[in-house]
Amino acid sequence: MTYDKLDTDDRNDPDGDRGSPDSAGSEVAAGPDDAGRSQRTRAADVQDRLRADIAECRLLPGQRLHLDQLSQKYGAGYSPIREALSHLAAEGMVTLSAYRGYRVTPISREDWLDILAMRRHLESLGLAMSMTHGGVDWLDEVRMRFAALEEAEPPLDGERLKVEWDHSHQEFHRSLISGCKSPWLLRFADTLAAQSARYLRLGLASRFLQGNRRHRQEHAAILAAIVEGDEDLACALLRNHLTRTSKTLLTASPDLFG
């Protein structure tokens, strides 16, 4: 199953939107809620919403992103749309071609393995730093996120991960590194988490969390090691947990990468 050939080649359409106006005066009129907002604020809003649509697979890998359609969908003019796309290109969520315009970044086996390898390194570092600098408030946050994940509904809806469960899962993992005191580490970790989320939602068949009990046990073991103050064990358990996630996707969805 591949996603990088969803649209035809558009060699005569360098902007990816044939006939779309490109001047500020041709932008769609802003709605009442946009009247007092700056272009930067509108672009940031579009960027967040577009990132979520990509991560949650409402926009599929390889899918062409038309400026006029995005403008209508998000209620913003072409300039903030372009600015949002530019930032998402820097994050690796979209790609720009001289002849095909913007598209959602295609997926690949190599990219998935790279994402999870970087998550292992970065999140284990973030966890170690959080255990050093996070303090009681950070530990309380981790416990709260773990409890919320435990109370979440079963993760699967047929063959796909439930968005609500996955949000709780992501929030638990984010809490593990939230006390690191490094905005840069958190920024990079958030980008990697968003990238991995779309792979998981695209590919994980129901067998992924048939072993949900083990999955829950792994989360509980990480938390227990944190509470005990065993930094080496907690970081090793987190790395192993992410390694199993990487292997499980490849095993559960062998046709994902074609």
* Mean pLDDT taken over the chain: 81
**198 and 70 share one domain:** no
Whole-angstrom Cα distance, residue 147 to residue 159?
A: 25
List, for residues 49-85, the tens digit of each pLDDT value: 999 899 888 899 999 999 999 999 999 999 999 999 9
Taking the chain, what is the end-to-end CA distance rounded to the nearest angstrom? 5
Whole-angstrom Cα distance, residue 37 to residue 122?
A: 35
**99 and 114 share one domain:** no
Whether the pLDDT of residue 247 is over 90: the answer is no
CA atoms within 13 A on the CB side of 224: 7
**174 and 193 share one domain:** yes
**126 and 149 share one domain:** yes
Q: Which of 175, 191, 167 is nearest to 238 (CA)?
A: 175
Residue at 18 is within a domain: no
pLDDT tier at 245, thresholds 50, 70, 90: confident
Looking at 61, 87, 104, which one is the last position of a domain? 104
Looking at 104, 134, 152, which one is the last position of a domain? 104
Whether the pLDDT of residue 145 is over 70: the answer is yes
Enumerate the β-bridge partners of residue 64: 103
Which domain covers residue 147, as residue numbers?
109-252
More confident residue, 6 or 188: 188
Whether the pLDDT of residue 243 is over 60: the answer is yes
Looking at 75, 104, 133, which one is the last position of a domain? 104
**117 and 75 share one domain:** no
**129 and 247 share one domain:** yes
**156 and 197 share one domain:** yes
Q: Which of 5, 21, 13 is nearest to 71 (CA)?
A: 21
Residue at 155 is within a domain: yes
Residue pair 2/258 in contact (Cβ under 8 Å)? The answer is yes
List, for residues 179-238, the tens digit of each pLDDT value: 999 999 999 999 999 888 888 888 764 445 544 557 788 999 999 999 999 999 999 999
Residue at 173 is within a domain: yes
Query: In degrees, to the nearest 5, what angle opens at C-alpha 170 toward C-alphas 254 and 256?
Result: 15
pLDDT of residue 257: 76
**217 and 235 share one domain:** yes
Query: In degrees, to the nearest 5, what angle opens at C-alpha 246 toward C-alphas 244 and 247?
Result: 65
Give pTM, 2 decimals: 0.76
**139 and 159 share one domain:** yes
pLDDT of residue 178: 98
Whole-angstrom Cα distance, residue 255 to residue 67?
A: 31
